[in-house]
Structures are given as structure tokens and as C-alpha cells.
């Protein structure tokens, strides 16, 4: 009798504490529900925005709605996956309550982790291609504005091409004099570009650069020196404004990226918590179920008295 008991205890101890079928079942349900809710969120989001000014939701409203929807998606999908992982697992007999509690929590967390990886793969591979066609036109239009803005702000970032422009600028200064500049339009534009880029990098045009550029402009456009200087001041102010707008756009994009990452972290953390919690609920519900046995009472057969 003692040998039989030891054999049964050894079999229980050798059995794995992870019920992978239950985990994969919960992860599949969570991933499917997450994908459905994410696609629904994309549909609601695109229906709420509009390219026309004053029509549709604002950027702040859309951002808040996106974060709220992401949190709801994580809570619902992760909760469902965790509950199924806990409810469908095998019943662990002869285990302490704390061990059962830990195993249920681990099952919910594993189901959430697998579902998150699967959902991320599906979203990147399917949803991005689904909405990519709708975003391509807007991205093409934005590329032109971004290119012009980055060109205006190029003086704030040092690259190899910037060093080449600086060298060309100093070479230009070697051949400056008060005589008319007998150069082509392309050469005059190149000289003006290098002067403007250096001025934007330093925040202002030097007096020598401003005077020389006014001479070139006056020669090429047949206007007076004073009118050329006024034109330089007006265009340089516009270039500085464009550079400032580009810097503000970059700072806004940085803040949006940082905020999105933090909200994504919070939503995923909520998903992990609810998956683990609902796995405990499902496990307790599973252990509370009693096996119902229907007993069939047969009527004894009586023999007739002869």
C-alpha cells in the first residue's frame, strides 16, 4: 500500500505544471479578438478623420481615442485569453493553494505573451498593408513638405554634404570683389544657396555676405542695391520661419512618439495584468466544478410466486 502511494506521488511530481493546450487556446482567442478590435478601431478612426479643415476630429481627440481604444482592446482580449487558459487547464490535485495561484497566474501571463506576439505579427503584416494604400497619397503629399522643411533646417545638422557646402562657401569668399559678377544663373543661385545655408546655421547673415549677395542680385535682376537688400531680408526671414516650423514639427513628432510608446507600455501592462487575473478566476471556476454523476436506480426484478 505504501509503495503504491509513493508511485502515485512521484507521477504527480513528474507531471509538468504547464498546460500548453490551455495556454495556446487562450492565446488564439486573445489574438483573434485583438485583431478584430484593432481592425474595428482602424475603421472607426478613418471614419472620424477628414482632410478638410474643420471637419472631423482634432489630432488631440484622435490621439486620446486611440489610446483609450488600445487599452480597451488589451483588457478585453487579454482577459478572455487568460480566462480560457485558466478554465481549460487540467485540475491540479494534491497541490497547495499558493502553488495553484502561481500556476494560474503564469498560465494567464504566457497566454497574453503568445497572443501579443501573434497579434503584433498579424498587425504588421496585414493591417499595415490594408491601410497602406489609403495612407500612400497623404504620405506622398507630406513628403514634399517634409523635404522643403528639412532643406530649410539643414543648417542645424552637420553632415558630409554640409561640410562640402562650408568649404564651397569659403572658396567663394576668395573671389569676391566689387566688380560685376560675370556668372551664369545656376552659378549665382549656388552662391546664394551657400550664403543662405550658412546664415541659417548661424542665425543671421553677416554684413559682408548680405552686401555681396545684394550686389549679385542687383546685377542679375536689374534692381537697385537697396531693393536687393530688402529682398534678401524678406526672403531670409521666410527661410528662418520655415526652419523654425520644421524644428517645431520635429519636436512635435518626438513628443507624439514618446507619448505613444508610454501609452503602449501602459496598455500592454494592463493586458498582462488582466490576463493573469482572469486566469486565476477561470482556474478557480474550473476547480469549483463538481463532477455530476447520474446514478440509475434499477428496479429489482421480482419473480412471480408460484
Q: Is 183 found in the same domain as 111?
A: no
Q: Domain total for the chain?
A: 2
Give the pLDDT of residue 164.
60
Q: Is 99 found in the same domain as 68?
A: yes
The residue segments making up the domain with residue 274 are: 17-129+254-288
Give the pLDDT of residue 29.
94
Query: Of 237, 260, 245, 259, whose CA–CA distance to 146 is shortest?
Result: 245
Give the pLDDT of residue 181.
59
Is 264 part of any domain?
yes
Give the pLDDT of residue 176.
63
**Other CB atoms within 10 Å distance of the CB of residue 27:** 25
Is 103 part of any domain?
yes
Is 12 part of any domain?
no
* Pair 123, 168: CB distance under 8 Å: no
Query: Of 158, 162, 155, 152, whose CA–CA distance to 249 is shortest?
Result: 152
Give the pLDDT of residue 4.
46
Q: Is 268 found in the same domain as 174?
A: no
Q: Is 92 found in the same domain as 54?
A: yes
Q: Is 262 found in the same domain as 160?
A: no
Q: Is 230 found in the same domain as 192?
A: yes
Give the pLDDT of residue 236.
85
Is 138 part of any domain?
no
Residues of the chain where predicted confidence (pLDDT) is lower than 50? 1-12, 127, 130-131, 134-135, 137-160, 293, 305-306
Q: Is 31 found in the same domain as 89?
A: yes
Give the pLDDT of residue 41.
86
Amino acid at each position: 500500500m505504501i509503495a503504491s502511494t509513493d508511485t502515485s506521488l512521484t507521477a504527480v511530481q513528474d507531471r509538468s505544471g504547464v498546460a500548453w493546450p490551455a495556454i495556446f487556446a487562450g492565446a488564439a482567442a486573445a489574438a483573434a479578438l485583438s485583431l478584430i478590435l484593432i481592425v474595428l478601431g482602424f475603421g472607426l478612426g478613418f471614419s472620424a478623420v477628414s482632410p478638410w479643415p474643420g471637419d472631423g476630429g482634432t489630432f488631440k481627440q484622435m490621439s486620446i481615442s486611440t489610446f483609450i481604444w488600445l487599452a480597451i482592446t488589451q483588457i478585453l482580449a487579454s482577459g478572455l485569453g487568460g480566462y480560457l487558459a485558466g478554465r481549460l487547464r487540467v485540475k491540479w490535485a494534491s497541490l497547495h493553494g499558493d502553488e495553484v495561484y502561481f500556476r494560474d497566474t503564469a498560465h494567464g501571463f504566457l497566454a497574453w505573451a503568445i497572443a501579443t506576439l501573434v497579434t503584433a505579427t498579424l498587425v504588421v503584416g496585414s493591417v499595415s498593408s490594408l491601410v497602406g494604400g489609403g495612407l500612400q497619397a497623404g504620405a506622398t503629399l507630406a513628403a514634399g513638405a517634409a523635404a522643403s522643411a528639412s532643406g530649410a533646417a539643414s543648417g542645424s545638422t552637420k553632415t558630409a554634404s554640409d561640410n562640402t557646402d562650408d568649404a564651397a562657401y569659403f572658396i567663394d569668399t576668395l573671389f569676391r570683389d566689387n566688380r560685376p559678377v560675370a556668372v551664369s544663373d545656376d552659378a549665382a543661385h549656388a552662391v546664394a544657396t551657400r550664403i543662405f545655408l550658412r546664415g541659417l546655421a548661424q542665425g543671421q547673415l553677416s554684413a559682408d555676405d548680405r552686401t555681396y549677395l545684394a550686389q549679385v542680385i542687383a546685377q542679375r535682376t536689374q534692381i537697385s542695391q537697396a531693393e536687393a537688400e530688402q529682398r534678401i531680408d524678406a526672403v531670409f526671414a521666410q527661410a528662418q520661419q520655415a526652419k523654425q516650423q520644421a524644428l517645431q514639427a520635429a519636436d512635435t513628432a518626438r513628443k507624439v512618439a514618446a507619448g505613444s510608446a508610454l501609452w503602449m507600455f501602459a496598455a500592454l501592462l494592463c493586458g498582462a495584468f488582466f490576463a493573469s487575473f482572469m486566469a486565476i478566476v477561470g482556474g478557480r471556476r474550473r476547480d469549483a466544478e463538481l463532477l455530476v454523476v447520474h446514478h440509475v436506480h434499477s428496479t429489482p426484478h421480482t419473480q412471480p410466486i408460484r
